[in-house]
Amino acid sequence: EWLMYSIETIDDSWIIKRKYNGLDGQEYIEHHEVDFYWNKVLSIVQINGYPKYPILSKLVKNILIISHGNADVERGFSANTNVLTKDRTLLSEKSINGLRAIYDGVEFLGAGSVHKVQVSTDMIRAVQKSAASYKEELLKMKALTASQQKESELLQPAELEKKKLIEEEQELMIKYKKLQSKHKTAELLIDEGNQRMENSLKNGDFTDIHAAYTLN
């Protein structure tokens, strides 16, 4: 099958996604993902409708699922370390994403060197638009902060009143529990007095009757 594949006529559109001219005037080629290419190749069928490369299909699929390593991830962590310095620990998520976009842009357009990046009219417009969006975002944040502060000031008296009511409720609960405890003690004393009086009447002990009367 590999020999058959090696002499197969492959359409360039399966490999090349598009061609374009860069800012430096040079022509660049953007290729399709490898799975796109192999999907096209392995979709080739014979005259009878059966796949032309059944064994090659299994081989390619097993190779493609093998991990290619974590070099890209490690490079991303390294780039984040360069972006997030000690002076930038309080940056927002949007700011971090913006810095990463600039970092990646310099890597792509200037091979890692800022002075090699060609400044075009579109880039200047993009920066101006970004600055305008940033100012607009700042105004929104200020308005939101002012609104939240005003809302907090309006809610403050209500919160104080709520806190006062909660404290009063807690005090009432404490008093209620104390009254319950006293009531229970009184019931026990009354029950004991009644029992002693009943026993005294049966036994004819008037001294105990006086004690029972005192408990009641």
For the residues of 67-86, what is the DSSP string, one character each? ---SHHHHHHHHHHHHHS-G
Q: Which of 47, 67, 87 is the last residue of a domain?
A: 67
Question: Would you say residue 59 has pLDDT above 60?
Answer: yes
Q: Does residue 86 lie in a domain region?
A: no
- The string of pLDDT tens digits covering residues 116-162 is 888 888 888 888 888 888 899 889 989 998 888 888 887 788 788 88
Banded model confidence at residue 216, pLDDT cuts 50, 70, 90: low
Give the rounded percent of residues in the chain with a pLDDT score beyond 70.
91
Those residues whose C-beta lies under 8 Å from the C-beta of residue 134, and which sit 6 or more positions away, are none
Number of domains observed in the structure of the chain: 2
Distances (CA, A) of 147 to 13, 86, 142: 56, 32, 9
Supply the range of the domain harboring residue 51.
1-67
44, 52 Cβ separation under 8 angstroms = yes
Q: Does residue 101 lie in a domain region?
A: no
Q: Which of 67, 86, 102 is the last residue of a domain?
A: 67
Q: Which of 12, 40, 67 is the last residue of a domain?
A: 67
